[in-house]
Amino acid sequence: MTKNIAVLTGDGIGPEIMAEALKVLHAVGKKYGHIFNCEEAPFGASAYFSHGNPFPKEAQDVCDRADAIMKGPVGLAVNEMNRIPQEMRPEIGAILPLRKRYNTFANYRPVRLPASLASLSPLKPEIIGKGIDILMIRELVGGLYFGDKVEGTATGMKYSSDELIYTADEVRDIARVAFNEARKGKVKLTNVHKANVLATSRFWNAIVDTVRAEYTDVVYESVLVDNAAYQLVKNPAQYNGVMLFENMQGDILTDQAGGILGSLGLMPSACVGPAKTYVEPAHGSAPDIAGKNIANPYSMIGSVALMLEKAFGLDREANAVWNALTRVLTDGYRTVELTDASTKKEYILGTKEFGDRVRDIVAE
């Protein structure tokens, strides 16, 4: 097949990890006979400085005509970020508008750690047990992050507010995505909420219950978000399957899941809407290590696998990328943030060398 892909390289380590992801993407194209036409566009904090907007019109046009979007991490060092007005910061001025523009309401964050890689996790091997395999699904275009805001100041207006709204349609749509995934994988679904306090959570649960009635084959449980945070450290494997979150709770607990894996560098993600999908690593742009060839490209390369799967339906190709990523790690190779005193020097790879290995395995 032939696909057009918008490439938003982003800031910080973005260019380095994107280069590796594109390398792997083109290896997939070559091996399986697909053409991926990639068009780069400015996006993020550096785009604000060069174009006056972190998601400038030309980037919107490139994204509009693309079949899918690959986005790198965004954000520069604090002193540079401080020169950007609040509404032009990449989070508010680029990421949220990108999500809204394509209504990418379903955020997939797979959290996978096979037992053979248990040593990557800061948790004890017996807690990792037979391995972690949780597909975290987060609602991405509603809730607190998109509600009306009133912003007070210490010296001016004496209050602030962020409105938290969920409509029945929004809850139903994301719940269906989660139940479909649970049904497909023949796994349990855990719905996360804060219904002991929040009206929106009680409403969320009531709508989830109506969807549940269509999926009586799926094993279902629900858990309070604070308890889920606790249980994810005590015994994460109990949630193997699908976890469903609203926007903010999912934002927080997916980062916690990165901690279980030992690095947010191991956390790719896909943001899926009715007409367009974009993919991105779940981590930031790490400006402190940019340009040093030490960033872990796993999450950006894994995002390629998610794009192949979710945007193009190329499951075989996606699996080839997942398998290659896992093999590099099970062969013992590590980027530096995954190492400890026992890691042999010849197994520590730079960003490029890690990408080379993944590409070579895909090409085999």
Give the x-and-dash track for 85-124 against ligand IPM (CB under 6 A).
Answer: ------x---x-----------------------------
Residue 332: CB minimum distance to ligand IPM, A: 30
Q: Which of 48, 102, 145, 166 does the annotation list as catalytic? A: 145
| DSSP E strand boundaries for 63-185 | 68-71, 106-114, 131-139, 149-150, 161-162
Shortest spacing between CB 2 and Mn ion, in angstroms: 33
Q: Is 162 in the site for ligand IPM (CB under 6 A)?
A: no
CB-based burial of residue 30 (10 Å sphere; 0-12 exposed, 13-18 middle, 19+ buried)? Answer: middle
Active-site residue 130, yes or no?
no
Is-catalytic flag, 255? yes
118 vs 282, which CB is nearer to ligand IPM? 282
- Residues in contact with ligand IPM, shown as a per-residue x/- string from 229 to 268 under the rule CB under 6 A: ----------------------x-----------------
**At what angle are helices 14-32 and 298-310 packed, to 10 degrees?**
40
User: Minimum Å distance from CB 112 to ligand IPM?
Assistant: 18
Is 226 annotated as catalytic?
yes
Assess 218 for contact with ligand IPM (CB under 6 A).
Answer: no
Provide CB contacts within 8 A for 231, sequence distance 6+.
Answer: 223, 238, 239
Contact between 136 and 110 (Cβ < 8 Å): yes
Phi, psi of 136 (to 5 degrees): -85, 125
Nearer to ligand IPM, 126 or 148 (CB): 148
- Active site residue: 209, 226, 331, 360, which one? 226
Reduce the DSSP state of residue 245 to 3 states and report it: strand
Q: Which of 188, 194, 352, 356 is the catalytic position?
A: 194
Alpha carbon distance 237, 229 (integer Å):
13
Using CA atoms of 237, 331, 121, 351 in order, give the dihedral in degrees to the nearest 10: -120
Q: Rounded to whole angstroms, what are the CA distances from 172 to 21, 69, 105?
A: 34, 25, 11
Out of Mn ion, ligand IPM, none, what residue 91 binds, judged by CB under 5 to 8 A for its kind, is ligand IPM
Would residue 64 show up in a list of annotated catalytic residues for this protein?
Answer: no
Residues that contact ligand IPM, how many (by CB under 6 A):
4
Beta strands in the chain (DSSP E): 2-8, 35-40, 68-71, 106-114, 131-139, 149-150, 161-162, 189-193, 220-224, 241-245, 268-272, 277-281
Instruction: Give the nearest distance from C-beta 253 to Mn ion in angstroms.
Output: 10
145 classed as catalytic: yes
The three-class DSSP label of residue 262 is: coil
Which member of 66, 282, 307, 361 binds ligand IPM (CB under 6 A)? Answer: 282
Which among 292, 356, 277 has a CA at the least distance from the CA of 324? 356
**Sign of the Cα pseudo-torsion (135, 200, 280, 296, in order):** negative
Residue nearest to ligand IPM (CB): 91
CB nearer Mn ion, residue 147 or residue 284: 284
Catalytic residue numbers read: 145, 194, 226, 251, 255
State the residues that interact with ligand IPM by CB under 6 A.
Answer: 91, 95, 251, 282
